[in-house]
Structure 1
Amino acid sequence: MNKVVIASKNKHKLEEIKEILKGFPLEIKSMDEVGLEHLEIVEDGETFEENSMKKAVAVMKETGNIAIADDSGLEVKAIGNKPGVYSARFSGENATDEKNNKKLLDMLKDIPMEKRNARFVSVISVAFPDGRKIHVRGECEGFIGFEKRGESGFGYDPLFIVPKYNKTFAELGAEIKNKISHRAKALEKLKEKLGEVL
């Protein structure tokens, strides 16, 4: 059994990653479970790739185990692909999902529906103790609605409309979201790559 530490303190991400990697002979641990609850990794990269690899390498060095990190965010075309790598802290230092969603809606208030296209991006990096590194990228295309809809999910999920269903991620619920999301697509690619190396 390979021990793998997920380099994230986000409970939702942990659950999604665990769920999708269920079939592997992996013992999956959170940072808290390996005593890294106080480790702060400054995400100062300019791309999702830089940030996710930085997190994976930092946790791998601390634990000596394989580490998996995800950096993900929302890119909205009409506002120059913002919030991008700043998605989690879009509304400033004490950002919350509520404040981030409000800021995004304010920035898009005069933009018509057909110009509100957006995509969620997830880049997942794996750092191995022997120096090997892999990363994969998943994207999910959609639109930003005019108001929040739905109760499940987190982050920008209540605003992000998936055209095929005409529902937001927050309306679709975890089961469907975990099949079609940016992170699901990245994790599917990761499954293939891990299958080759493990």
Structure 2
Amino acid sequence: MLKVLLASRNAGKLREFSELLPHLQFVLWPKDAPELPETGAFFQDNALQKAEGARAWWNEHGTEPVDGVLADDSGLCVDALWGGPGVLSARFAPDLSDYRLKNQRLLSLLPEVADRGARFVCVLAYLPSSGPPFTVSGSVEGSLAQEHRGEGGFGYDPIFIPQGHTRTFGELPSDIKHSLSHRARACAALKERLA
């Protein structure tokens, strides 16, 4: 079993990665470790930045050996907002700490007659202990709900309705979400590469 440093403190992501990649043993990004950089213009840039920053810090301060580093950059891209918040999804509405409020604000930006099309995108960067880094990605098309619905998942899940469904990711059971989400598709691609 590969032991992998997960370059994130996001509890929701950790839970999903543990469920989607049960063959990996995750080492968590420590609470006393620095915030990782996210200054890229694209999801791939940010994922690679985070993975490289995490590996550099771990090489100096890590408490155990790892076989690789995994970093994720993901976000919600809304057609009516010209693809926003996109790579800024995690930093959208920084004055609000609660995602229910962030979701309300995001929905309030849409004109009433706006196209509600949206997609979730996830890019994973993997840096093995030796060898070059690589990235894989996944996305899922859908639309935005009129309001925050459901308490499952995390982040923007309660306002995103995946294509072919009437319930949001916040309402769908996790097994259905894990069969079609952006993160599930990126993890499936990662499994293939690691195999």
TM-score, shorter chain, exceeding 0.5: yes
- Kindly state the Cα deviation for residue 96 of structure 1 after the two structures are TM-superposed: 3.2
Give 2:169's aligned amino acid.
F
User: Equivalents in 2 of 1:99, 1:51: separation in Å?
Assistant: 25
**What does residue 141 of structure 1 align with?**
141
- 45-54 or 86-95, which deviates more: 86-95
Report the equivalent of 1:111: 113
Letter in 1 for 2:2: N
Is the partner of 1:72 in helix, strand or coil? strand
Shift of 1:175: 1.9
Q: Does 2:94 correspond to 1:92?
A: yes
Deviations 1:121-153 (A, max 9, x none): 000000123241010010000000111111211
Correspondent of 1:31 among 23, 29, 32: 29
1:88 is displaced (CA, Å) by: 1.4
Q: Please state how far the C-alpha of 1:110 moved relative to its aligned partner.
A: 1.8
TM-score relative to the length of structure 1: 0.89
Q: String of CA shifts for 1:83-140, please: whole Å, max 9, x gaps.
A: 001111211255431232122111114234xx11000000000012324101001000
Q: What stretches of structure 2 of length at least 5 have no aligned partner?
A: 60-65
CA distance in 2, matches of 1:116, 1:181: 18
Question: Residues 69 and 128 of structure 2 are in contact (CA less than 8 Å); yes or no, is this contact kept in structure 1?
Answer: yes
Report runs of 4+ in structure 1 exceeding 3 Å deviation: 93-96
Structure 1: gaps spanning 5 or more residues: none
Q: Secondary structure at the match of 2:156?
A: coil
| Residue aligning to 2:62 | none
Q: TM-score, normalised by structure 2?
A: 0.90
CA distance in 1, matches of 2:162, 2:96: 29
TM-align CA RMSD: 1.6
Residue of structure 1 equivalent to 2:16: 16
Q: Mean Cα displacement is larger for which, 2-11 or 60-69?
A: 60-69
> Which residue of the partner structure matches residue 44 of structure 2?
49
- Work out the CA distance in 1 between the residues paired with 2:20 and 2:152: 18
1:77 to 76, 79, 82: 79
Identity %: 40
Superposed CA deviations along residues 36-87 of structure 1, whole A, max 9, x for unmatched, are 5432112111110011111111112222431000000000011100000111
